[in-house]
Structure 1
């Protein structure tokens, strides 16, 4: 970030100052950036299965799409009705045209064998959409079983993971931030032994280092590695 700001604002190339770079590296030793907590597969399934649609339908739809596409809150906020197509009774095809890296992503949300069917869940939400909505954004406000014409704000998406955590009575629910859905998707994919190249495509990451930074340390994953090292089959 410092490199980009100096280059754009002051036309200074920080690479020409090796002592500054060395100083910054020394001072960053031991620094751990604060990251959002992630939701486990069991916690996600529990929320989808037990939370009432009357109170949480909007959050459920955002959670399912956010997980399946490792979406940022900005990407959910900019999603339009024409970006979601029903392929069959168990699959939605979602296109993210407006992304941070300007890389269009297309991903399926599949319901076969899952706790909820994304097609049915999204269909229930879409049918509540008023006819006089003056825009084509997917997510509109939802309260007590009814939708309004008002578009869901970007900060509301940032609060949704903490609402899920609070419903599940997880400790420190405020630490489940707007990046929770994206980090949870990356962690679940890594736990399922998804190849790094596939993970990068899922989240639209160009850098392997950045993609790996989204993966939460998993005890279950470490158990698999330990069993392999110990020769257990």
Structure 2
């Protein structure tokens, strides 16, 4: 019976997350360009941290108004491709950040 009470008082740590407004504010800033690109790729492609670390320039193709990103070695062993485009609805153009 003593083993059931070992976890009394334990409170797991909650991860802090950015709100949409905080991300838009960050993207509008004039600094941290690489971090902005990593954030856009990570969100647009639902990437794991290791996939972002393994990404290199050869995996990214600029086709003008579309950027094609290929994740070749994912955790489950399959490769996947996703795109990011110029979105007219968004106040911040992700494609312009990529091209900088």
Shift of 1:117: 2.5
Alpha carbons of 1:33 and 1:94: their partners in 2 closer, same or farther (altered >3 Å)?
farther
1:128-158 superposed Cα distances (whole Å, 9 cap, x missing partner): xxxxxxxxxxxxxxxxxxxxxxxxxxxxxxx
Aligned to 2:26: 47
Q: Which has the higher helix share?
A: 1
Aligned to 2:87: 112
Distance in 2 separating the partners of 1:83 and 1:58: 16
Give the TM-score, by structure 1 length.
0.36
Alpha carbons of 1:38 and 1:112: their partners in 2 closer, same or farther (altered >3 Å)?
same
Q: Are positions 1:96 and 2:71 aligned together?
A: yes
SS in 2 for 1:37: coil
* Matching of residues 62-77 of structure 1 within 5 Å: 62-77=38-53
Alignment coverage as a number of residue pairs: 96
User: For structure 1, which runs of at least 5 residues remain unmatched after alignment?
Assistant: 1-22, 125-233
Greater Rg, structure 1 or structure 2?
Answer: 1
Runs of 4+ in structure 1 deviating by more than 4 angstroms, as ranges, are: none
* Matching of residues 105-184 of structure 1 within 5 Å: 105-113=80-88, 114-124=90-100
* RMSD of Structure 2 on Structure 1 (CA): 2.6
Alpha carbons of 1:42 and 1:95: their partners in 2 closer, same or farther (altered >3 Å)?
same
